């Protein structure tokens, strides 16, 4: 018997998707599945959105930080 801690996805039509990188022979297995009471909230997309929202509290969306950084680097290169 093995104990695996993996993330599963339940689709809108009720399918359970399991992506397991377990090194086991192909075949059918008896398994017991225990799910937490609520879905994981910190998926990559929601983490990025949370970070962007935090960033936007201090820097308005109209300000192009990447352009400012490029301009700074160009000025530094000219002074070398």
For the stretch 29-69, pLDDT in tens is 888 888 877 777 666 777 778 788 888 888 888 888 899 99
Specify the residue for token string 């000219």: 78
Could you tell me the pLDDT band of residue 25, with boundaries at 50, 70 and 90? confident
Q: Which of 47, 40, 51 is nearest to 8 (CA)?
A: 40
Range of the domain at 36: 8-78
pLDDT of residue 74: 94
Beta-carbon contacts of 54 under 8 Å, excluding residues fewer than 6 positions away, are none
Whether 21 maps to a domain, the answer reads yes
Whether 17 maps to a domain, the answer reads yes
Whether 26 maps to a domain, the answer reads yes
Whether 2 maps to a domain, the answer reads no
Could you tell me the pLDDT band of residue 72, with boundaries at 50, 70 and 90? very high
* Residues facing residue 71 across a β-bridge: none
Number of domains comprising the chain: 1
- Using alpha carbons only, give the angle 9, 34, 36 rounded to the nearest 5 degrees: 70
Whether 1 maps to a domain, the answer reads no
Could you tell me the pLDDT band of residue 28, with boundaries at 50, 70 and 90? confident
Whether 3 maps to a domain, the answer reads no
pTM of the complete model beyond 0.85: no
């Amino acid at each position: 018997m093995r104990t695996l801690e993996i993330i599963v996805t339940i689709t809108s039509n009720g399918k359970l998707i399991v992506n397991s990188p377990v090194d086991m022979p192909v075949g059918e297995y008896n398994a017991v599945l225990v799910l937490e009471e609520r879905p994981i909230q910190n998926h990559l997309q929601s983490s990025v959105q949370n970070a962007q929202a935090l960033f936007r509290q201090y820097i308005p969306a109209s300000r192009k930080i990447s352009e400012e950084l490029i301009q700074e680097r160009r000025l530094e290169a000219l002074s070398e």
